[in-house]
């Protein structure tokens, strides 16, 4: 796991070379501004970073690191859930890597010794159900699924009831990923949340939003839409290894004030790592500061 987040920032580091071709021990605030904007940190966040830096034009690495880390200190810690099974509802638009991330998360939990079950509640797309089934078979994890077009809330209900009866530790429920501004999707997700609570009081315990790292700052609008629909408890960022917009995580943290749980760093089932703010910030700083 060590170094995976830094490795995933490779394309961001390459983009930074366009405005900072040589690494330095100290940089000016103008140079810092150019670098952060190139890495897709939004302008408001850049202004905030510059404001909290020490007086003077020269910026040392340790001072910039302190300010950058403060973005993640402002986000709440993931809530600890004592209930069993823990029911997690996974949200996100099509193409964000939601179904694959569910498989990675299930694999992560399984390696921790937990009994995991999947619920294929994205019944809008037959491909989503089949994809999750294939992952379940590959990972040897049980799944509750039905045909395309069936009631997704019923799948969620059956998954939770089965998990409770059989003593599972974790329930991961997929949801439809149509455009976030569609009324029918909004109503569908709200219904799933209500039915989860009927299947088990207090469920879903956590609503996790999957954001595509290649979308950069534009992913914030998606996140705000889902927050308005049913609320969001935490975030997973996918495809960070495939984008030059790695700095957008500061904007996401600043705007959404939600914990980032994991980072997707590839396509395989093991390519999911816990987000570490220190490693992330150091990985970015290594792109333009001399050690």
Half-sphere exposure of 9 (CA within 13 A, CB side): 24
Query: What predicted TM-score, i.e. pTM, was given to this entire model?
Result: 0.94
Q: How far is CA 176 from CA 158, 182, 204, in A?
A: 17, 11, 16
Report which DSSP code applies to 289. B
Report the alpha-carbon distance of residue 138 to residue 269 in Å, rounded: 10
Structure-block tokens of residue 234: 């935490």
Please answer whether residues 276 and 5 qualify as being in contact, where contact means their C-beta atoms are separated by less than 8 angstroms: yes
Q: Is 87 exposed, middle or buried (0-12, 13-18, 19+ CB in 10 A)?
A: buried
pLDDT at 180 over 60: no
CATH code for residues 86-276: 3.40.50.300
The strand pair at 206-212 and 143-144 is best described as unpaired
pLDDT at 98 over 50: yes
Exposure class string for 143-154: b at 16+ Cβ within 10 A, else e: bbbeeeeeebbe
pLDDT at 89 over 70: yes
Residues 6+ away with beta carbon under 8 Å from 165: none
Helix/strand/coil for 206 = strand
pLDDT at 2 over 60: no
Report which DSSP code applies to 274. E
The whole-number pLDDT of residue 125 equals: 80
The whole-number pLDDT of residue 44 equals: 94
The whole-number pLDDT of residue 179 equals: 58
Q: How far apart are the first and last CA of the chain?
A: 22
Average the pLDDT over 140-148 and give the result.
93
Domain boundaries, the chain: 4-75, 86-276
The whole-number pLDDT of residue 127 equals: 87
Where on the phi/psi map is residue 114: left (φ > 0), alpha (ψ -120 to 50), or beta?
Answer: beta
Residue with tokens 């019923």: 154
Report the alpha-carbon distance of residue 222 to residue 264 in Å, rounded: 18
Report the alpha-carbon distance of residue 137 to residue 37 in Å, rounded: 43
Report the alpha-carbon distance of residue 209 to residue 142 in Å, rounded: 23
| Most confidently modeled range among 122-136, 169-183, 201-215 | 201-215
Q: Is the peptide bond before 204 cis (omega within 30 degrees of 0)?
A: yes
Q: Is the peptide bond before 85 cis (omega within 30 degrees of 0)?
A: yes
């Amino acid at each position: 796991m060590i170094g995976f987040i830094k490795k995933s920032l490779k394309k961001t580091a390459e983009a930074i070379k366009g405005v900072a071709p040589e690494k330095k021990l100290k940089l000016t605030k103008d140079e810092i501004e150019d670098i952060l904007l190139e890495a897709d940190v939004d302008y408001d966040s850049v202004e905030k970073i510059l404001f909290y830096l020490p007086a003077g034009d020269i910026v040392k690495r340790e001072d910039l690191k302190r300010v950058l880390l403060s973005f993640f200190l402002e986000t709440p810690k993931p809530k600890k859930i004592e209930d069993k099974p823990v029911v997690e509802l996974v949200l996100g638009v099509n193409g964000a890597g939601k179904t694959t991330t569910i498989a990675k998360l299930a694999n992560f939990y399984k390696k921790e010794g937990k009994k995991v079950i999947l619920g294929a509640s994205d019944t809008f797309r037959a491909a989503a159900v089949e994809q999750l089934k294939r992952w379940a078979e590959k990972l040897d994890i049980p799944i509750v699924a039905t045909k395309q077009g069936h009631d997704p809330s019923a799948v969620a209900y059956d998954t939770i009831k089965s998990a409770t009866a059989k003593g599972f530790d974790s329930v991961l429920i997929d949801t439809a990923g149509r455009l976030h501004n569609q009324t029918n999707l909004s109503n569908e997700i709200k219904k799933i949340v209500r039915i989860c609570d009927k299947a088990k009081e207090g469920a879903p315990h956590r609503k996790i939003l999957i954001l595509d790292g290649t979308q950069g700052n534009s992913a914030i609008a998606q996140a705000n839409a889902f927050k308005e629909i049913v609320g969001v408890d935490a975030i997973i960022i996918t495809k960070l290894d495939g984008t030059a917009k790695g700095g957008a995580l500061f904007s996401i943290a600043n705007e959404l004030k939600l914990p980032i749980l994991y980072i997707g760093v590839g396509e395989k089932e093991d390519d999911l790592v816990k987000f570490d703010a220190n490693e992330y910030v150091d990985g970015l700083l290594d792109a333009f500061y001399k050690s």
